[in-house]
Amino acid sequence: MATATKLPPAAGARPSGKSGPGRAKRKNLSAPLTAVLWVIVAIYALPLLWFLLSSFKPGSELFSYPLSMIPREWTFQGFVDAWERVDFARYFINTATVSLVTTVLTVFFSACTGYALAKYNNKGTRLFFVCILATTMLPTEVILNPTFSVIRDLGLYNSLAGIIVPSVLTATGVFMFRQFFLTVPDDLLHSARIDGASELAIFFRIMLPLSKPILFTLAIFSFQWRWNDYIWPLIVLNDPKWYTLQVALRSIVGAENIDWPVLLGASVISILPLVLVFAVFQKYVLNADVSAGLKD
């Protein structure tokens, strides 16, 4: 920062980049830079493409040399086997239930908490803000065993509720809403108060509708976190009938002899819903003004 401010404020010294040496240089650089970018894109896409195309190969072709990028024979057998033989339909429903319910709860309670932390400045809310900050320093991975004891003592062991309830509170969600509500002018609040609206009515009727963009962004993030979560289901679930996709996938890949056709099919199935969500709500993710601690 310090270095940046030392430079002369030359705004308007030249109409931005319409002509001059910068423009010409940019043109010269355009081809090589574009090439570099697309080589990188290819490197990032290759593992995914290879994996995706492999999932359409029959089991006999998966390991037969020479390998070919495009399946010689297209089949859906891997998907069908994964869906029927490994009971993937059930895991799919379990995961969807957990993700949807947790997301709704997370978004709602994060909005409430974020609003309270932004608009009511007293000792209590300030203290709780520090507490939430502390949770980012104490990830579940650090307290696996005691968390298991707590879940067990609460009677949540081996139930979907055991995954849902502890995941509702996320620091990121609270911070996102707090950050947003800090930008909402207090005047709005004061005039609503003068008009005699109750505190909770102000929140539900005025503030919550205002925060719609944040609501969507957090919903997508939360859905992704929960859909892909592994560690909570791992410690909470024991009975295979409650397994989520990630735990089920791990039990396939952790087996002595990996059933690759099923594993590939199952993995691709597990990705699809998120790809769908992303395709529809892309702009809320890619254009989100992702700031403070948006990672869980």
Partner 1 sequence: MANSTLSPAVRPEQPGSPAVRSKSQQRRRNRYVIAPLILVGVNVVLFLVFFVWPGALGLIYSFTDYRGVGKLNFIGLANFQKLFADSTFYAALTRTFLYTVLSVPLVYVSSLGIASLLVSKATRGRTAAKVIIFLPWLISPIVVGVIWKWMFGQDFGFVNFVITTLGGGPVPWSSNGNLALMVVIFASAWGGTAFNMLLFIAALKNIPEALLEAAELDGANAWQRFRHVILPGIAPTSFMVILLSTIHAMKEFAMIQALTNGGPGTENTLIVQYIYKTGFEQSKVGYASAASMVLMVVLLAIALIQLRFNKKKG
Residues 184-243 that bind partner 1 (CB under 8 A): 186, 190, 193, 198-200, 203, 224, 227-231, 235
Out of 72, 123, 130, 185, point to the residue binding partner 1 (CB under 8 A): 123
Out of 19, 47, 72, 256, point to the residue binding partner 1 (CB under 8 A): 47
Window of 75-83, 85-93, 96-104, 168-176 that interacts with partner 1 by CB under 8 A: 168-176
Tell me the CA distances in angstroms from 182 to 15, 131, 144, 211, one per residue in order.
35, 19, 35, 11
Q: To the nearest 10°, the Cα dihedral for 194, 195, 201, 205?
A: -120
CB of 149 to partner 1, least distance (A): 6
Quote the CA–CA distance of 64 and 32 in Å, as a whole number: 38
| Cis bond before residue 66 (omega within 30° of 0) | yes
And the tokens for 108? Answer: 């709602």
Check binding of 181 to partner 1 (CB under 8 A).
Answer: no
Tell me the CA distances in angstroms from 185 to 111, 134, 208, one per residue in order.
17, 28, 14
CB of 268 to partner 1, least distance (A): 9
Quote the CA–CA distance of 137 and 142 in Å, as a whole number: 9
DSSP label of 141: G
Check binding of 133 to partner 1 (CB under 8 A).
Answer: no
> Under rule CB under 8 A, which residues in 253-282 are in contact with partner 1?
253-254, 260, 263-264, 267, 270-271, 274-275, 278, 282
> Under rule CB under 8 A, which residues in 136-165 are in contact with partner 1?
137-139, 141-150, 154, 165
Nearer to partner 1, 104 or 231 (CB): 231
Out of 89, 182, 188, 290, point to the residue binding partner 1 (CB under 8 A): 290
Check binding of 128 to partner 1 (CB under 8 A).
Answer: yes
Check binding of 109 to partner 1 (CB under 8 A).
Answer: yes
> Under rule CB under 8 A, which residues in 77-106 are in contact with partner 1?
none
Out of 58, 59, 62, 87, point to the residue binding partner 1 (CB under 8 A): 62
CB of 177 to partner 1, least distance (A): 11
Nearer to partner 1, 212 or 295 (CB): 295
The residues, any chain, with a CB within 8 Å of residue 206's CB and separated by 6 or more, are 188, 192, 197
Window of 45-53, 76-84, 85-93, 210-218 that interacts with partner 1 by CB under 8 A: 45-53
Q: To the nearest 10°, the Cα dihedral for 247, 248, 252, 255?
A: 60
Nearer to partner 1, 51 or 74 (CB): 51
And the tokens for 235? Answer: 């410690």
With both helix axes pointing from N to C terminus, report the angle between 123-135 and 88-119 in degrees, rounded to the nearest 10: 140
Taking alpha carbons only, the member of 282, 285, 276 closest to residue 214 is: 285
Check binding of 76 to partner 1 (CB under 8 A).
Answer: no
Out of 74, 76, 85, 120, point to the residue binding partner 1 (CB under 8 A): 120
CB of 77 within 8 A of CB of 62?
A: no
CB of 81 to partner 1, least distance (A): 16
The residues, any chain, with a CB within 8 Å of residue 253's CB and separated by 6 or more, are 263
Check binding of 122 to partner 1 (CB under 8 A).
Answer: yes
Quote the CA–CA distance of 80 and 75 in Å, as a whole number: 10
Give the DSSP H/E element, type plus range, for residue 226.
helix 212-228
